[in-house]
Amino acid sequence: MARTANIMTKVEPEIKERAEAVLHQLGISMSTAMTIYLKQIAIQGKIPFEISSSMNTPIALGDLSDEEFDEAMDKAARSYANGLCTDIADFKI
């Protein structure tokens, strides 16, 4: 049996639960998913997906072309449809 090393990390409980639900559907454990992720980092020499610092940067409407605006609205609609956005009614002020 191969030697193993332990990794401990802290994540938000909601993120962990959502990830576990997806992994359950895929039929793999969190440990297996993390092993796959770390192997890909080792193989590729980088994070194996795009990371964008502009994800939380506000977009100025005047800076967008009509095509860019339509693309941003389509992306937002897909995110909402996939449950990745919070409905305004859920905010408590």
Radius of gyration of the chain (CA): 18
The closest of 24, 31, 28 to 9, measured between CA atoms, is 31
For position 16, what pLDDT does the model report? 93
Residue pair 6/35 in contact (Cβ under 8 Å)? The answer is no
Q: Name the segment(s) of the chain with CATH classification 1.10.1220.10.
A: 10-49
Q: What is the pLDDT along the chain (93 residues), one digit of tens a residue?
A: 678 899 999 999 999 999 999 999 999 999 999 999 999 999 999 988 877 665 556 667 777 888 888 888 888 888 878 877 766 666 554
From the list 13, 32, 11, the residue with the least C-alpha distance to 23 is 32
10-49 homologous superfamily: Met repressor-like (1.10.1220.10)
pTM of the model: 0.53
